[in-house]
Structures are given as C-alpha cells and as structure tokens.
Chains A and B, each alone.
Chain A
Amino acid sequence: MTLRTWAEINAKIQAKQAVVWTAAALKARVKEWGVARCARTVDVITTGTFEPMEASGAVLNLGQTDPPIKLRQCWLDGVPCYTGFGAVDVVIGASQLGEDEGVERGGGHVIADLIAGQTVSLKAVGQSTDCYPRPTLETRISKDTINQFYLYNPRNLYQNFIVGVNGGDRTLYTYLGPLLPQLGNAVYACTGALSPLLNDPDLRCVGIGTKVFLGGGVGYIAWEGTQHFPLQKRLPNRVPIGPAATVALIGDAQQMQSRWVRGCFFKHYGSSLYLGVGVPFPVLDEQVIVACAVQDEEIVVPVMDFAIPRRVRPSFGLVSYAQLKSGRITINGTQVRTAPLASISWSMEVAEILKSWIERGEFTLNEPIAPLPMDRAFLSQDGLE
C-alpha cells in the first residue's frame, strides 16, 4: 500500500517539513516502534558510505590553446591520462599509477588534489594536423582554469562484497590492504547494514537518474555499474550473499569537497580514491522500512583466501557483519582479527549530512527515469590457449 508519492515527499522537503532519519537511526528504533509506525512517521531514510572506489575517474576539458592542439598523450602530475576523445578532453583514472619509479601516488591523488583546489602540472604531446598544429603543451591547471571537471565512476556502491584473508605463509599486498599470513587478519570492504544498496536489495527506489550525495556535492546514478550482478544468490530477506548490484555515478567535481574525496594508496598494490556517497530512500510504503531495517546479523559475506590467486578463490564460508564488526571472526577454530576498509564512522556522517540537506529543503529526491536491470549475468573471460 502506497503511503506517499515521490511528489508528496518532495513537496514536504521544499516546505522543510520532511521527517528524515538515517538508516542507522531507523535500525535502532524500528524494533521498539514497529514497521507501521516508522513508515507513517518517516518520509525519507538516508544512507551513506565512505570507501575506496578504484573504478573512479574524472573527465576534464582544458580549453583550447593558441595555436590549437589535439592531445594524444597527457600526464597530470606525472600520471598518464587517456586522450582518445575530443582534442582537449582528458580522462584520468583513480587507479592509474604515476610513472616515476617508486611513487606511491596515482590518479586518485590527482583528482583529490584538484578538488582540494590545488594546482597540478600538465604535460601533453599533440598530434600535429592542419587544424591542430601545436605539438606539445606544458602548463599548470586547477579546477578553476578548466571548462569541465566531473567525476565518473563506472562502478560504485557495491551491494555487499567479500572478506579477504590470507591462508598462505607470506604477507599479501592486495586491494584490501596487507593480508597477514596464517590468517593474521581479515579485511571487509562493505559496511554491512549501513551500505546504501543493502538497504534496498531489489533496487526498488534507485535507478537511472537517482540524485545522490557524491563527494560532498550532488551526483546522479548514470547507469548500471560495471560487474553489476543482481542475480547473485540471495537470502530470504533478499540481501545478496556476495558481490551483487553496482551503479555508475556521475557528478560535478568542481562542486565537491576535499573532505569527501581522498586519494589513497595500498602498498604494493596501487592507488584508489576514498569517496563519500550518500543515497536517500523515499518511504513510499512499509516495504521500504522493512528493507532499511535490515541488521548486521542478517547480512552475510564470504571469507575468501587470497593465497590462491585464482578467479574463483577458495572460501572459508560465510560470516555476518555483526561478527565482523565485533572485531573477531573464527576461521577453522582460530580467532582472526577483523578490520574494515571503509570508514564506518565517516559513512554514518555522510548519511547525517545528507539528512541535514534534505531537512533544510536543499536536496529533493529524483524518481528514477529508468530502472536498473535485474537480470545481468556475471561472465568471465579466458585467453586463447
């Protein structure tokens, strides 16, 4: 049964009368209040995350030089960029490493520096043509000296993920950070019940066009994310038991805040970008409350052994996020210390900030213009042997 429509919720937001709770607040109160009372009371629930998003990039348009140039190679602070679009369009990826030997810095740091208002060096080689004769360009740019600067994440907001451990006998340096030998530690990347898409397992309220908090500014869901796999096995509460849905996000980087966009580097692995993302859910019906009420005890995730570097790694079985957040899990009878990769406290702060934006009438909700597909397969690739 529909309790309120998108339009009714937005009218309340604009009148600064919307009742907004964070997902954490709802989870704490729903047992006492019950679903029906929460659904009657609350208009919007906010979720947030602050985690490394390797599949992040930025699109820049520099503006033309005189004489004009058609970029074919370009480096921002020594990090190679992609230039195969328009003459002065540049794309930089967060996981692209700088070329200087031993540098622990990559595209994520360059994107974060630009958002922080810093100036970065640009070196480029052009392809001389009759219309673009200039052969090279060296300059310094900042977010205020270029035309467009927007963030684009081909994959973001992973709906659940995995836990990494190392059953081998040497330290492994992974995208989850160092994994110590003999099950020395376990790292989990997803924030469990706080994670935005685990509060909407069937993607009822999000789709293409959904407006989100992105890096301290406003962004949108642009498309399904890469490796979007909604067909992942699910529990009866519809929560997937491993990596499932993803979304592609886009947003104006010139409006973002450096607090919520941080370059990062994982030793002997590479660079990435910590990014704050917040997603609001309209309480259209009681089902929205039921989905957002999911607790860490009710979400499980597989523990994978990174000592076997195969496409399908052996699993030590499933653990719940309640176990992970307690600081210890038991694997094969051994206690293993757990550590998060996402910042759980900052994730909660993103949800709080988005809540305050909506309460102040500054952020309305966008009804999706198209749903995200729910039937994507998860294919793999093999070389010609």
Chain B
Amino acid sequence: MKQRVTLTFPRQMVQIPITYRLAKDFNIAANIIRAQVAPNQVGKLVVELAGDMDQLAAALEWLADSGIEVAQSSREILIDTERCIDCGLCTGVCPTQALTLDKEFRLHFTRTRCIVCEQCIPTCPVVAITTNF
C-alpha cells in the first residue's frame, strides 16, 4: 500500500539517512515529493511511502519514536478568526513560518507554507486552531 506523509525533522535529526533506513529496515520505497533540508535547521520531507501494510505502520512508529513529526499531508490547518486573539504564541512553534505576525501584530496564515505538523494546535491558548480531520 501507499501512504503520503509529511515528515518534519527537528534540527538535530537532519543528519539521519531516513530513506536508507526506511528501505533497509522496513523494505519501504520512499518517493520524495518535496524536501527542505539544510544543516542545523528544521527539515521537511513530503514522501510517498510504499510497502507492506504492517511494515508501513512499523516504519511510521519508528519515525515518530525518533522524534520526527509525522503528519498526513491531506490534513489542513484551520484558524477560527472569531476565537483567535492575535497573541501570536503559535508563531514561535511553527517550523515553516506559515504562521506569522504582520506589521500590526495580527496573525497571518500562509497556507502554502504549512506542512500540517500541528504543533500550533496544542500551543493555541484559546483553541482557535484545528485540523479539518
């Protein structure tokens, strides 16, 4: 089976050869759709994983256990502007600067930058951020 996921690497995880480990340890073919990796920075990988269903589940578990954020790419982040108080707390945990404060310190969400890592959801103190799943 195939599954498309977005992987977000903390800065200290960028050195690990992920696709090699997926192939060798789990017999998974990882087709890289999009990648943003640079030394000493948060890395992002949108990959299509193909392999045996059980091994795919084990691979995703291994990724999560290694400290890599695994997100289903079909999810989308939604901001409830009625609830949002423009505090900007979420902008500090957003790894791709999809969430930013503009010059007037109003929250601005750039959907195309969002990798749906969902770190912003538990950060929001007024439950203004959700996913559509």
Contacts and interface: CB of A to CB of B under 8 A. Distances in A.
B90 A339 contact: yes
Interface stretch (B14-22, B45-53, B80-88): B80-88
Contacts of A185: 92-93
B88 A343 contact: yes
A16 B36 CA distance: 59
Given A262-B85, A345-B86, A339 B125 contact: no
A345 B104 contact: yes
B93 A344 contact: no
Shortest 7 CB-CB contacts between residues of A and residues of B: A339-B92, A185-B92, A264-B125, A344-B105, A345-B105, A267-B122, A343-B87
A184 B13 CA distance: 14
A265 B87 contact: no
Contact of B87 (A180, A184, A340): A340
A264 B126 contact: yes
A338 to B, nearest CB: 7
Given A52-B125, A262-B126, A265-B125, A346 B85 contact: yes
Name the residue among A178, A184, A345, A346 with the largest chain B CB count within 10 angstroms: A345
Given A50-B85, A274-B85, A345-B104, A337 B91 contact: yes
B38 interface: no
12 contacts: A50-B85, A52-B125, A177-B123, A185-B93, A337-B91, A339-B93, A342-B87, A343-B85, A343-B86, A343-B88, A344-B101, A345-B105
Interface string B1-39: 000000000111000000000000000000000000000
Contacts of B89: 177, 187, 339-341
B90 A345 contact: no
A339 B126 contact: no
Nearest to A268: B122
Interface residues of B, number: 23
A367 B124 CA distance: 39
Contacts of B88: 339-340, 343-344
B106 interface: yes
Name the residue among B11, B85, B119 with the largest chain A CB count within 10 angstroms: B85
B127 interface: yes
Nearest to A339: B92
B125 A272 contact: yes
A182 interface: yes
A344 B104 CA distance: 8
A274 B124 CA distance: 13
A346 B126 CA distance: 14
Contact of A266 (B90, B104, B125): B125
Name the residue among A262, A263, A264, A339 with the largest chain B CB count within 10 angstroms: A339
- Contact residue range for chain A? 20 to 34
A186 interface: yes
A337 B92 contact: yes
Interface string B100-116: 11001110000000000
Interface in A26-81: 50, 52
A267 B86 contact: no
Contact of A180 (B90, B93, B104): B93
A263 B83 CA distance: 11
Contacts of A265: 125, 127
A177 B104 CA distance: 22
Contacts of B85: 50, 262, 274, 343, 346
Interface in A113-160: none
A184 B93 contact: yes
Contacts of A343: 85-88, 105
A258 to B, nearest CB: 11
A225 to B, nearest CB: 22
A167 B24 CA distance: 34
A110 B12 CA distance: 42
Contacts of B90: 339
A267 B121 CA distance: 10
Interface in A164-180: 177-178, 180
